Amino acid sequence: MKNYKIIKPKKTKPFFSIITVVKNDEINVGKTIKSVVAQSLKDFEYIIIDGKSSDSTLKKIMIFKKKINFLISEKDKGIYFAMNKGAKISSGKVILFVNSGDILTKNALKIIKKKFIKNMNIGFIFGTVKRHYTTGPIYKYGFNEKRLLYNFDFATSHSTGFFIKKNIFKRMGYFNTYFKISADYDLYFKLIIKNKIKGISTKKNELIGVMKSGGYSSKISFINHLKEEIKIRYHNGQNLFFLSLIFFNSIIKNLFK
């Protein structure tokens, strides 16, 4: 199939830009799109970046074409390239990524917009998400910026639960595509540790989204995750001695799991 595009920008600048990145996920993409277009707050544009799927993903997307402002279906160099592509064409004040398989709760945007308006000086919000693990669902909420210094499991995941103002995302340089597995954590480190950008989180009972189990990063081995984490920390100027402690502590903890 040839490259495909829909370009229907909104007449007025939206508060939110919602971006869905997908490739070959015909089973799940429909439920993700349904959760976006069903939002009780309509002050958003919807952007879908498809990596030129070879299955029926594009056909499933086209069912909702009247609700989509931008659709690009073409080959790309990976998930973070695709996410950056969506962010760069967006026009909303706040960006949210809802990747294929994840869903938004109906009042998610309404909850988050109120918090941004009430807290004008913040740059980002971590929203509560429900994630499915082998032992059952877990609610992830809040974040601990001090924990980020030594552990990347400090907050909810970026996808579906993380809202960031576009001007700040742009100032951070978007996602650094040098990192193939955890460019989102590189962004968090730059935001919170290096640049001291202030953010808040929703309460535990303010559920924003539900994340599909078995996402992109779950397919990567522990050691490859750890290698990239160390690269991210080194790239951002963290102390080499401290990095050594983080590395060996992670190895030991993993051995005793």
- DSSP per-residue string spanning 20-73: EEESS-TTTHHHHHHHHHT-S---EEEEEEE---SSSHHHHHHTTGGG-SEEEE
Q: What is the pLDDT of residue 225?
A: 86
Cβ 134 vs Cβ 218: under 8 Å? no
| pLDDT digits 0-9 by tens, 2-31 | 677 889 999 899 999 999 999 999 999 999
Residue with tokens 């103002």: 165
Same domain, 55 and 108: yes
| pLDDT digits 0-9 by tens, 230-250 | 999 999 999 998 899 888 888
Containing 84, the helix (H) or strand (E) segment is: helix 79-89
Same domain, 229 and 149: no
Same domain, 139 and 225: no
Same domain, 93 and 172: yes
Q: Is 237 helix (H, G, I), strand (E, B) or coil?
A: coil
User: Which range marks the domain in which residue 154 is found?
Assistant: 4-213
Q: What is the pLDDT of residue 256?
A: 74
**What's the burial of 142, exposed, middle or buried (CB within 10 Å: 0-12/13-18/19+)?**
middle
Number of domains in the chain: 2
Q: Which amino acid is at 23?
A: K
| pLDDT digits 0-9 by tens, 178-232 | 999 999 999 999 999 999 999 999 999 999 999 987 555 556 788 898 999 999 9
Same domain, 191 and 255: no
Same domain, 68 and 125: yes
Same domain, 164 and 231: no
Cβ 206 vs Cβ 128: under 8 Å? yes
Q: What is the model's pTM?
A: 0.92
Residue with tokens 């609610």: 139
Same domain, 155 and 186: yes
Interacting residues of 231 by C-beta distance below 8 A, sequence separation 6+:
179
| pLDDT digits 0-9 by tens, 79-135 | 999 999 999 999 999 999 999 999 999 999 999 999 999 999 999 999 999 987 767
